[in-house]
Structure 1
């Protein structure tokens, strides 16, 4: 450490070492997870490409479960346990809870072939006490969370978003 200006290796004291990737993405570890700045405020985003390589166009995923569910929610329709339009899902809330909590990439989103389908607007955050440990989960409701979890659940606490 230099005694003159309190610097270490040429950097001012107290400032982080910013790499070139931090400059391009923003100074946040979750900057890739933000809403696409190219979309207008009135436009609701279906999915965001989160990989750097070339992927198929988003329209090629139009028959997938996650795409159909996001389109339905963007139209303002409610998510129900049974739906005449999407019988293949059986219980969409249970499926969404499992899809969100079983992927390792995102907390409130489902990745599919290089695209990120975010469901932050319909998911709630829960803290679950199970076997003496507190764990954080995201789910549409408590029922779907209980279906996803197995074993004895001591307590489920809903955490408000704001």
Structure 2
């Protein structure tokens, strides 16, 4: 009978509470080792550009590397149960992207319209149109500021739609 109660409690309260102390300690030790390994990889790792095969082609790298302004946007964390929820996450992502490129607001080369749109997104009072055109606005501002077309890299662009459809 007591065994039945502890099993039922284990299901309700979580099996982890009924592990033996040695099992819990081993589990925590394994997690700590994994974290330590990840930190060591980050600290001692060479820059990604030096680990890529393309980096061996010096002529190509000299011709193209760091020649154009670029932005990276990952949509991996834009989630929600509906399009409206995903839009809220994207708005936060837009603000962070504008914050990363806030120097464009002070650039004498960037048009006042782009500056005002970037400011409105940073101040969280932008309308839907400004947020929808954020990437175009940032690309235009970067082009004006640097004098060269901007390269926009978007990772996991389909995640928000896939999650909203579920």
Fold agreement, TM-score > 0.5? no
| TM-score (structure 1 length as normaliser) | 0.26
| TM-score (structure 2 length as normaliser) | 0.26
Q: Which has the higher contact order (CA 8 A, sep 6+)?
A: 2
Structure whose CA Rg is larger: 2
* Bigger fraction of residues in helix: 2
